[in-house]
């Protein structure tokens, strides 16, 4: 769908050639949030070369988080043209929404441009390539009978089935499993969630917090089975490691996603997760002119180190600094956005800032049982182990001994939408803030009044 107003896409070696100079042509691979934001940022920043956008789903970019949270209430995709005003058709010269890249050849001695081969056999050449291919849901071998929820098409298929009385077995009590469990149970489906770990979201949030989340399932109308891996998936349900069978009309595999980078294996360095490691601007190490962002990348953060993709906010915010770097513009000086995940599940709101580590100590702020209503706000503060000092800065800036100061790696806010801004600011100002822990766990001290300790 080339736009008539723009020059034809580059299908021959780009005139400027050298990938280290400002590119005269860019191919963005992946028409999701990160890809759409990249083409928008490149245009806003004044690229005057040809832009190509390759997609795989055959539809314009849309937002994924509503697919689970609003499965039944928002039947049409949340198009980015409506939500963010990004009309990719007007921004790029060559738009191919159903012609994914299948091969990438970096420049070599004879050809100074990248060559991207698409499924239809076309070869698109460009000075720079941005990989924004996102992730693909994991569906273990033998689980062909299970559905997944990753695309608008997956959501449409699941929406068709969810109805009162439907027996739905969800494998995995992660972010998406929990969100769908609440939505489907709310619609009268008979929902069982089977989780191999000892608690929901154990890998992401640790067992202490996970144990509190487990309490949310029964009141929301969903059964939760933990500590039992699924060993077999069939059209009539799932079999668990102890031999029990959970009968189901629909099985949803919600066991995670992996970067959609299999086609890059051997061409681009990939980490153990299958993601493309990049520097803080999104540049792929040792391949000038190649960039990666969003769910398919692991991006260096100046303070936090490598941050794996998988956060909507990274796909939203990282394209701008990457586009600046592609165009050789100075960074705008804004601090990098902290890792941030949000979720609405089983009647609760979650916001996670930072990167919890399994070795962190978890201290709770507020009452995770929710008090009398079961819905009170609380938070979990993830602090680095063995990192305690006994000085802190007082309001007038002087240092005072006697209270424990701990380095905070992450904060999970539960049912506290009004605190999101203050915690975001905390992590933006100092990505690994040091806090007087006594204040941080005291819910009567507002987040915005917490005084970071002096360095």
Ligand X SMILES: Cc1cc2nc3c(=O)[nH]c(=O)nc-3n(C[C@H](O)[C@H](O)[C@H](O)COP(=O)(O)OP(=O)(O)OC[C@H]3O[C@@H](n4cnc5c(N)ncnc54)[C@H](O)[C@@H]3O)c2cc1C
* Contact status, residue 74 vs residue 33, Cβ threshold 8 Å: no
* Contact status, residue 174 vs residue 200, Cβ threshold 8 Å: yes
Using CA atoms of 425, 428, 432, 435 in order, give the dihedral in degrees to the nearest 10: -20
HEC string of 299-316 equals EEECCCEEEECCCHHHHH
Residues forming beta bridges with residue 26, ordered by sequence position: 51, 128
The interface region with ligand X, picked from 60-68, 73-81, 193-201, 407-415 by CB under 6 A, is 60-68
Minimum CB distance to ligand X, residue 395 (Å): 35
Q: Which CB, 135 or 323, lies closer to ligand X?
A: 135
Interface with ligand X includes 65 (CB under 6 A)?
yes
Minimum CB distance to ligand X, residue 352 (Å): 9
**Residue in 77, 58, 53, 52 with CA at minimum distance from that of residue 66:** 77
Count of CB atoms situated within 10 Å of the CB of 167: 16
Interface with ligand X includes 270 (CB under 6 A)?
no
Give the pair of three-digit tokens for residue 202: 């154990």
Minimum CB distance to ligand X, residue 61 (Å): 7
Q: Which of residues 320-359 bind ligand X (CB under 6 A)?
A: 341-343
Interface with ligand X includes 292 (CB under 6 A)?
no
Minimum CB distance to ligand X, residue 56 (Å): 4
Minimum CB distance to ligand X, residue 36 (Å): 7
Q: Which CB, 107 or 310, lies closer to ligand X?
A: 310
Give the pair of three-digit tokens for residue 63: 């937002």
**Residue in 128, 51, 45, 145 with CA at minimum distance from that of residue 94:** 51
* Contact status, residue 399 vs residue 436, Cβ threshold 8 Å: no
Q: Which CB, 71 or 225, lies closer to ligand X?
A: 71
φ and ψ at 154, to 5 degrees?
-60, -45
Number of residues that bind ligand X (CB under 6 A): 35
Collect all residues with Cβ–Cβ distance below 8 Å to 12 and sequence separation of at least 6. Answer: 125
x/- track of binding to ligand X for residues 82-121 (CB under 6 A): ------------------xx--------------------
- Angstrom CA distances, 58 to 38, 92, 219, 348, 408, stand at 19, 16, 39, 34, 43
The interface region with ligand X, picked from 194-202, 282-290, 310-318, 399-407 by CB under 6 A, is 310-318
Interface with ligand X includes 53 (CB under 6 A)?
no
Chain-centroid distance, C-alpha 212 = 23
The interface region with ligand X, picked from 48-56, 186-194, 359-367, 433-441 by CB under 6 A, is 48-56
Minimum CB distance to ligand X, residue 150 (Å): 5
Interface with ligand X includes 260 (CB under 6 A)?
yes
Minimum CB distance to ligand X, residue 182 (Å): 13
Interface with ligand X includes 299 (CB under 6 A)?
no
Return the residue nearest ligand X (CB atom).
Answer: 32
Give the pair of three-digit tokens for residue 385: 């182990």
Minimum CB distance to ligand X, residue 421 (Å): 17
The interface region with ligand X, picked from 138-146, 166-174, 306-314, 357-365 by CB under 6 A, is 306-314
Burial class (CB in 10 A: 0-12, 13-18, 19+), 269: middle
x/- track of binding to ligand X for residues 2-41 (CB under 6 A): ---------------------------xxxxxxx------
Minimum CB distance to ligand X, residue 87 (Å): 17
Q: Which CB, 353 or 447, lies closer to ligand X?
A: 353
Q: Which CB, 238 or 257, lies closer to ligand X?
A: 257
**Residue in 394, 303, 400, 406 with CA at minimum distance from that of residue 360:** 406
Minimum CB distance to ligand X, residue 406 (Å): 26
Core vs surface per residue 408-428: b (16+ CB within 10 A) or e: bbbbbbbbbeebbeebbebbb
Half-sphere exposure of residue 188, counting CA atoms within 13 Å on the CB side?
A: 4
Minimum CB distance to ligand X, residue 96 (Å): 8
Minimum CB distance to ligand X, residue 341 (Å): 4
Is residue 207 classed as helix, strand or coil in its secondary structure? Answer: helix
x/- track of binding to ligand X for residues 141-180 (CB under 6 A): --------xx-------------------------x----
Interface with ligand X includes 295 (CB under 6 A)?
yes
First to last CA, the chain: 54
Interface with ligand X includes 289 (CB under 6 A)?
no
Rounded Cα distance between 74 and 125, Å, is: 39
Rounded Cα distance between 233 and 251, Å, is: 8
* Helix, strand counts (H, E) of the chain: 12, 28
Interface with ligand X includes 317 (CB under 6 A)?
no
Judged by the rule CB under 6 A, the positions of this chain that interact with ligand X are: 29-35, 54-57, 64-65, 67-68, 100-101, 132-135, 149-150, 176, 260, 263, 294-295, 310-312, 315, 341-343
């Amino acid at each position: 769908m080339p736009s008539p107003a723009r020059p034809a896409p580059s299908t021959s070696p780009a005139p400027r050639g050298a990938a280290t100079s400002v590119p005269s042509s860019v191919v963005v691979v992946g028409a999701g949030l990160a890809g759409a934001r990249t083409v928008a940022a490149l245009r806003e920043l004044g690229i005057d070369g040809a832009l190509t956008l390759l997609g795989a789903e055959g539809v314009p970019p849309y937002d994924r988080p509503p697919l689970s949270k609003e499965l039944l209430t928002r039947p049409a995709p949340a198009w980015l043209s409506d939500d963010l005003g990004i009309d990719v058709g007007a921004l790029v010269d060559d738009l191919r929404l159903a012609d994914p890249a299948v091969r990438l050849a970096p420049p070599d001695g004879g050809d100074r441009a990248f060559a991207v081969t698409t499924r239809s056999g076309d070869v698109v050449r460009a000075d720079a390539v941005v990989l924004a291919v996102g992730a693909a849901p994991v569906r273990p071998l033998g689980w062909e009978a299970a559905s997944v929820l990753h695309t608008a098409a997956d959501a449409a298929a699941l929406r068709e089935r969810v109805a009162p009385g439907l027996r739905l077995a969800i494998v995995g009590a992660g972010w998406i499993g929990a969100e769908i469990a609440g939505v489907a149970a709310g619609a009268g489906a008979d929902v069982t969630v089977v989780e191999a770990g000892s608690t929901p979201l154990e890998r992401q949030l640790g067992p202490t917090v996970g144990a509190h989340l487990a309490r949310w399932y029964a009141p929301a109308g969903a059964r939760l089975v933990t500590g039992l891996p699924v060993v077999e998936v069939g059209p009539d349900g799932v079999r668990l490691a102890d031999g029990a069978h959970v009968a189901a009309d629909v099985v949803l595999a919600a066991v995670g996603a992996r970067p959609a980078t299999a086609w890059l294996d051997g061409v681009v360095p990939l980490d153990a997760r299958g993601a493309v490691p990049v520097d803080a601007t999104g540049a792929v190490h040792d391949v000038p002119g190649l960039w990666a962002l969003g769910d398919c990348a692991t991006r260096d953060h100046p303070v936090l180190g490598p941050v794996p993709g998988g956060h909507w906010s990274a796909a939203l915010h990282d394209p701008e600094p990457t586009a600046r770097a592609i165009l050789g513009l100075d960074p705008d000086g804004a601090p990098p956005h902290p890792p941030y995940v949000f979720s609405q599940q089983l009647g609760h709101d979650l916001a996670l800032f930072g990167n919890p580590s399994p070795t962190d100590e978890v201290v709770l702020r507020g009452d995770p049982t929710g008090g009398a209503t079961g819905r009170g706000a609380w938070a979990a503060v993830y602090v680095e182990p063995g990192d305690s000092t006994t000085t802190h800065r007082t309001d007038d800036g002087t240092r005072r001994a006697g209270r424990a100061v701990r380095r905070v790696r992450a904060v999970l806010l539960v049912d506290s939408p009004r605190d999101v801004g203050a915690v975001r600011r905390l992590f933006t100002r100092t990505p690994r803030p040091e806090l007087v822990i006594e204040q941080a766990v005291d819910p009567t001290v507002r987040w915005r009044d917490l005084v970071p300790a002096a360095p």
